Amino acid sequence: HGAAETEETGTEALPRRTPAPAWLPTAKGEEGDFCLRSSDCAAGLCCARHFWSKICKPVLREGQVCTRQRRKGSHGLEIFQRCQCAEGLACRLQRELGPADASRLHTCQRH
């Protein structure tokens, strides 16, 4: 019932720190680098699917084609994902001159 016994060897005065795994990137990924999540990528980039892996890709700027998400969870079905639009932009149907429904293209546009 007493206190737990501890064996003192005297060889370690401080707790041992485990080194970071070799695969863990020390710097943020640049465009085209493999990643697991967007926080692995440098500023202005996101982690998006490219074939069956994920790489750092640029966040979309005004006027660039974007992917409108129809329903939650559909983003995972794409083989070539695009990043989201940059802050202050929204992915909206491009307004074309001509008949309605002439273009289903979505672009990043100011709010």
For residue 30, give Cα distances in angstroms to 23, 50, 51, 55, 56: 16, 15, 18, 9, 6
Which tops the pLDDT comparison, 75 or 28?
28
How much is the average pLDDT of 45-70?
A: 92
Which tops the pLDDT comparison, 70 or 109?
109
Q: Where in the chain is the domain with CATH 2.10.80.10?
A: 28-58
pLDDT for position 95: 73
Tens digits of residue pLDDT in 7-24: 444 544 555 565 655 655
The architecture that CATH gives domain 28-58 is Ribbon (2.10)
Contact 47, 40 (CB under 8 A): yes
pTM of the model: 0.65
Tens digits of residue pLDDT in 63-108: 999 987 766 655 556 789 999 999 999 999 987 655 555 568 899 9
For residue 65, give Cα distances in angstroms to 20, 35, 46: 39, 23, 16
